[in-house]
Amino acid sequence: MTAQSSGVAFADAFTTGFTYDALPMHVRFGPGVIAELGAELGRLGLGRALVLCSPEQEKTGELAAEALRGRAAGVLAQARMHVPIEVAHLARERAAALGADACVAVGGGSAIGLGKAVALEQGLPIVAVPTTYAGSEMTPVWGLTEGGRKRTGRDPRVLPVSVLYDPELTADLPIGMSVTSGLNAVAHAVESLYAPDSSPIVSMMAEEGVRAMTAALPAIVAAGSDRDARARALFGAWLCGACLGATTMSLHHKLCHALGGTLDLPHAPTHTAVLPHALAYNQRATPAAVAALSRALGAGNPARALWDLAGELGAPRSLAELGMAEADIARIAEQVVTSPYANPVPVTRDGVVRLLQAAWAGEPPAVGLAGEVVA
């Protein structure tokens, strides 16, 4: 994809035409909607649901089971980052043993990803109840980690049939996790702006999603109990996740999948540390994306603005502090360039190494093309 064609501009898209696939799902948004979980399963004609959550979210998982009003088959609080294949096998076996005909995934990307692993093999529909800002609930993208490698794919079977967004469930989300989860969502919107299958519809959602999320996060840091800010962040996560669901992933997500699957780095903090550098790598070739992000962020250099924002919010900005060794840079770069995702500029080994070196050290992002470093 050339610099001229990257990042779909409205005028060009209306002249040449575009496509957009609206993903089929039912969404309920509002304080207290978790109480309607049982009614939602009834509306869908589902009988018994296995509730999936992480160990940290077990209390919320039990709350969801209560809200199912007799439709709960059980609670499995074993979800983990990057969906290890052994956990996927456990969830599939438990769902079959309990006779569940659906999964209710409560939490962030780990729980929803586990639900997708069950849906991928057994076809059980997913009702998602997000409690973070990851956005996984809006996508047909699945991921499984086995043997130190994370495999991803797209399949309509893993798209949740219903999503209940209850801002009250995010009120106790720790500030640090709120920030990194929110910036993870922003990464989805950023890449959608220069995806080869972007469109004016996606661009509008992406710009508004970034605007909503980056306005909400400082308010959450200032007062974690700010319900308006929590609701705005959840709305932003919905929009950003929908962008990821509608478009092709690029270099940023490839990097994060390699770092997470191979090194088991924490998911959302890794996205937070990598995003400014991946955007800087592509920024000169994506003028329409830069224009949209500049409007949303109120800054002319979006890559630097996101790096600055992460620092202001107290988020990690280096892969070193997340546990990555400098010696790992070469093998991650090799993995990325061996099977790259679609990207607006060439994904070169030298370029990826330079990007990872800067992200590992926590340096400010340098805007350049395919390995060119510009201060």
Residue 318, pLDDT above cutoff 80: yes
Average pLDDT over residues 19-27: 81
Q: Report yes or no on 212 lying in a domain.
A: yes
Closest CA to 133 of 244, 18, 24: 244
CATH number of the domain where residue 268 is located? 1.20.1090.10
Question: Is the Cβ–Cβ distance between 28 and 36 less than 8 Å?
Answer: yes
Residues 117 and 224 in one domain: no
Residues 249 and 149 in one domain: no
Average pLDDT over residues 294-299: 97
The pLDDT assigned to 2 comes to 34
Closest CA to 79 of 50, 103, 104, 115: 115
> Which tokens hold the place of 230?
């929590």
Question: Is the Cβ–Cβ distance between 91 and 117 less than 8 Å?
Answer: yes
Closest CA to 164 of 23, 38, 47, 22: 38
Question: What's the gap between Cα 191 and its chain centre?
Answer: 11
Domain region containing 84: 33-165
Q: Report yes or no on 173 lying in a domain.
A: no
Helices (H), the chain: 10-16, 37-44, 58-67, 85-98, 109-122, 175-193, 200-222, 227-246, 251-263, 267-283, 287-297, 302-312, 329-338, 349-361
Residues 139 and 255 in one domain: no
Half-sphere exposure of 76 (CA within 13 A, CB side): 30
The pLDDT assigned to 192 comes to 97
Average pLDDT over residues 23-40: 93
What is the torsional sign of CA 293, 295, 296, 298?
positive
The pLDDT assigned to 127 comes to 98
Residues 215 and 114 in one domain: no
H or E stretch covering 87: helix 85-98
Residue 375, pLDDT above cutoff 60: no
Give percent of the chain above pLDDT 70.
94
Residue 57, pLDDT above cutoff 80: yes
User: By three-state DSSP, how is residue 374 classified?
Assistant: coil
Stretch among 92-96, 147-151, 204-208, 328-332 having the lowest mean pLDDT: 147-151
pLDDT bucket at 5, cuts 50 / 70 / 90: very low
Torsion, CA 324, CA 181, CA 242, CA 154, rounded to 10: 40
Residues 273 and 328 in one domain: yes
What is the torsional sign of CA 220, 276, 302, 137?
negative
165, 190, 214: which is the final residue of a domain?
A: 165
Residues 294 and 223 in one domain: yes
Give percent of the chain above pLDDT 90.
87
Residue 176, C-beta contacts closer than 8 angstroms, at least 6 positions apart: 314, 315
What total of structural domains would you count in the chain?
A: 2
DSSP annotation string for 29-51: ESTTGGGGHHHHHHHHT---EEE
User: By three-state DSSP, how is residue 102 classified?
Assistant: strand
Residues 157 and 190 in one domain: no
Measured distance CA(19)–CA(333) in Å, rounded: 33
Residue 111, pLDDT above cutoff 90: yes
165, 196, 228: which is the final residue of a domain?
A: 165
Q: Report yes or no on 225 lying in a domain.
A: yes
The pLDDT assigned to 4 comes to 36
Which residues lie across from 49 on neighbouring strands?
Answer: 72, 102
Residue 371, pLDDT above cutoff 60: no
Q: Report yes or no on 141 lying in a domain.
A: yes
Q: Tell me the pLDDT tens digit for each residue of 139-196.
A: 999 999 998 888 989 999 999 999 999 999 999 999 999 999 999 999 999 999 999 9
Residues 71 and 123 in one domain: yes
Residues 121 and 192 in one domain: no
Average pLDDT over residues 81-88: 94
What is the torsional sign of CA 103, 180, 191, 236?
positive
Q: Report yes or no on 11 lying in a domain.
A: no
Residue 24, pLDDT above cutoff 50: yes
Q: Report yes or no on 6 lying in a domain.
A: no
Measured distance CA(101)–CA(98) in Å, rounded: 9
The pLDDT assigned to 374 comes to 42
Residues 156 and 84 in one domain: yes
Stretch among 42-46, 132-136, 237-241 having the lowest mean pLDDT: 132-136
Q: Report yes or no on 343 lying in a domain.
A: yes
99, 133, 165: which is the final residue of a domain?
A: 165
Residues 158 and 199 in one domain: no
CATH number of the domain where residue 64 is located? 3.40.50.1970
Average pLDDT over residues 313-338: 97
Residues 141 and 198 in one domain: no
Q: Report yes or no on 328 lying in a domain.
A: yes
Residue 364, pLDDT above cutoff 50: yes
Amino acid at 130: P
Measured distance CA(147)–CA(302) in Å, rounded: 36
> Which tokens hold the place of 88?
């996927």
The pLDDT assigned to 20 comes to 72
Place of tokens 């940023």: 252
User: By three-state DSSP, how is residue 130 classified?
Assistant: strand
> Which tokens hold the place of 144?
């499984």
Pairing between β-strand 126-130 and β-strand 141-146 as defined by DSSP bridges: unpaired
pLDDT bucket at 217, cuts 50 / 70 / 90: very high
3 phi and psi angles, rounded to 5 deg: -60, -35
Closest CA to 105 of 144, 84, 143, 78: 78
